[in-house]
Amino acid sequence: MLRAIHIKDFAIIENLVLELEPGMTVITGETGAGKSIVIDALDIALGDKANSQWIRHGAERCEINIEFDITYIPKARAWLSKNDLDNDNECIIRRLLSNEGRGRNYINGSPVNLSQLRELGNLLVNIHGQHQHQALVKLNEQRELLDNYANHDELLQQVRQTFHSYKKIQNEINALIEQTNASDSQKALLEYQLSELEALALEDDELEKLHVEHRQLANAEQLIQTCHQALELISEGEEYNATSLLNSATHALDDCKALDYRLNNACELVNSALINLEEAENELKLYLNQIDLNPERLQEVDQRLSQIHDLARKHKVAPENILHHYESLIDRFDAINNASERLIELQNKQQILWQEYIAFAEALRQQRKQKAEDLNEFITESMQNLGMQGGVFAIDITEAEPSASGIDKIEFYVTANPGQPLQPLSKVASGGELSRIGLAIQVITAKADATPTLVFDEVDVGIGGHTAAIVGELLRQLGETAQVICITHLPQVASYGHHHLKIAKQSDGVQTHSDVRFLNKHERTQEIARMLGGVKVTEQTLAHAEEMLALSAG
């Protein structure tokens, strides 16, 4: 249940703290005091779109905090656990809006996005507003309302998933058929392209080896000349060379190291240099034996590289990617050859999915019909109580094009007067009738609502007198099993609340803000009397208010 709402610098609310109780809580106050602003704040905290216009004039930002006890809300606990946001049986939602247009959202202290707020909010609170009377004329809204009342979420999910899987395979089949229709010309082109690449017979690392060999062959003369020059300097020079010089240095140091041991290390280093020179000499001679001027081979390598680069250019790929391109052409060629087998496989799978979908959709239809009968009876009875004697409500379920929501077209039919034929709810002419029918639907379906907190924001507009008292009684009954918060301007409804909050607008001559507080028994009588009699409260209206409160308390 919703335990507390804390609103700061939101619209005309400067700082408002509401600590709520189980049962039915009514919120009253004069027009413009900010009753519906509380619900607007609740909506925004639960993920509704918002902007900086909601920030109270003169403030830099606004903040909304709402606190829930989720001990008996298993779906909310499961959602929080799945998203690593759980905090035992407590759930605190916080939303901040700044003048710069930036917003921040938190669940149990962790930052979240608006989509997450909405998902969780749908599990915690269901807000019924005046606009929903108009929304009820839409067929999608009517279908969703029946499904929510039937509480067959798992079956709906199965219908939705199998339909989407079916459509996905249908798209694959369509693409494959399109590919097959164009396969003759594609196959001929692929065969020609593959024959070119097969004739090339390019090996895995051939291109890299060819580039290395080409570089060596093209520079062979310079390489040979440089190696000979190096050998001259190392050992073959007649006048002097490094080897003879190092030998001389070795002999000279050998003669002296006996005189001073500190020359030992220098002697070893010169000997090492001499050994390294000898190894370098051997490496250079071996290299010269392996390299040769070979213009014929250079020409062959040139031609092979040109062949590879020309074919890569023709196929519009980089030369180093030509083997990968060849493999992709093979895959495409195999796909065309195997298209008929793949098509049969997909069609078989699609047929199985269709059978599953129809089975789920038929089961969904049966549940909808069963729950529709219950709703027909309950809402018809509620319409009678709301002053529409002889009124009838009926849900018509007919076949529709298969979709993610099933194979049913669901439409609400009503007649508000005896002897009149049933007609679609969207054809109801009277706004007052639509309001009362909508209220009957909302109150009855709310009894099966899985969310533990139900908010009714002035849904009693357009009714009064005895009908309003019945609405109050129905909402109080809801409050016995769920937390009901009802904003109302009708004393008949307000008198049925288990708890009574009054919102009043205060002004210091500079700024206006709203205050809220729970009313005691005496204050509640005064407020009901004000709602009955307007500005002037008389002994008669006070007596009437006391009588209404006594009757509603049972």
Give the pLDDT confidence of 351-360 residue by residue, as tens digits. 999 999 999 9
Judge whether 306 lies within some domain: yes
DSSP code, position 449: -
**Beta-carbon-side half-sphere exposure of residue 248 (alpha carbons within 13 Å):** 6
Whether residue 94 contacts residue 10, with contact meaning beta carbons closer than 8 Å, is answered with no
Judge whether 67 lies within some domain: yes
Same domain, 204 and 322: yes
Q: What is the pLDDT, as a whole number, of residue 66?
A: 96
Whether residue 329 contacts residue 316, with contact meaning beta carbons closer than 8 Å, is answered with no
Question: Which of 337, 353, 379 is the C-terminal boundary of a domain?
Answer: 337
Residues 254-270 have pLDDT tens digits of 888 778 888 888 888 98
Judge whether 118 lies within some domain: yes
- Which pair of structure tokens corresponds to residue 6? 């804390």
**Beta-carbon-side half-sphere exposure of residue 430 (alpha carbons within 13 Å):** 12
Same domain, 332 and 190: yes
Question: Which of 303, 337, 371 is the C-terminal boundary of a domain?
Answer: 337
Judge whether 282 lies within some domain: yes
What value does the mean pLDDT take over residues 454-479?
82
Q: Quick check: 184 pLDDT over 80? A: no
CATH code (residue 473): 3.40.50.300
Q: What is the pLDDT, as a whole number, of residue 134?
A: 62
Give the number of domains in the chain: 2
Residues 299-337 have pLDDT tens digits of 888 888 888 888 889 888 888 888 888 888 888 887 777
Same domain, 304 and 197: yes
Same domain, 121 and 232: no
Residues 268-293 have pLDDT tens digits of 898 898 899 889 889 888 888 877 77
Closest CA to 414 of 209, 225, 136, 164: 136
Instruction: Report how far residue 508's alpha carbon sits from residue 489's, in angstroms, rounded to the nearest whole number.
Output: 26
Same domain, 120 and 192: no
Whether residue 127 contacts residue 42, with contact meaning beta carbons closer than 8 Å, is answered with yes
Same domain, 117 and 188: no
pTM above 0.75, yes or no: no
Closest CA to 425 of 134, 3, 7, 196: 134
Amino acid in the structure at residue 345: E
**What interhelical angle do 183-200 and 153-181 show, nearest 10?**
70
Q: Quick check: 21 pLDDT over 80? A: yes
Q: Which domain holds residue 205?
A: 184-337
Instruction: Report how far residue 153's alpha carbon sits from residue 332's, in angstroms, rounded to the nearest whole number.
Output: 43
Whether residue 141 contacts residue 411, with contact meaning beta carbons closer than 8 Å, is answered with no
Q: What is the pLDDT, as a whole number, of residue 182?
A: 61
Same domain, 235 and 107: no
Question: Which of 318, 337, 356 is the C-terminal boundary of a domain?
Answer: 337
Whether residue 197 contacts residue 329, with contact meaning beta carbons closer than 8 Å, is answered with yes
Judge whether 110 lies within some domain: yes
Same domain, 37 and 117: yes
Q: Quick check: 110 pLDDT over 90? A: yes
Instruction: Report how far residue 494's alpha carbon sits from residue 26's, in angstroms, rounded to the nearest whole number.
Output: 6
Judge whether 153 lies within some domain: no
Same domain, 99 and 1: yes
Q: What is the pLDDT, as a whole number, of residue 429?
A: 54
Q: What is the pLDDT, as a whole number, of residue 457?
A: 82
Same domain, 322 and 194: yes
Q: Quick check: 105 pLDDT over 80? A: yes
Same domain, 215 and 88: no
Q: What is the pLDDT, as a whole number, of residue 449?
A: 67
Judge whether 523 lies within some domain: no
Give the range with max mean pLDDT: 227-231, 447-451, 493-497.
Answer: 493-497
As a whole number of angstroms, the longest Cα–Cα distance in the chain is 138
Judge whether 32 lies within some domain: yes
Question: What band does 534 get if pLDDT is binned at 50, 70 and 90?
Answer: low
Angle CA(135)–CA(137)–CA(142) in degrees, nearest 5? 85
Closest CA to 364 of 406, 308, 403, 424: 406
258 by DSSP, 3-state: which? coil
Same domain, 222 and 90: no
317: left (phi over 0), alpha (psi -120 to 50) or beta: beta
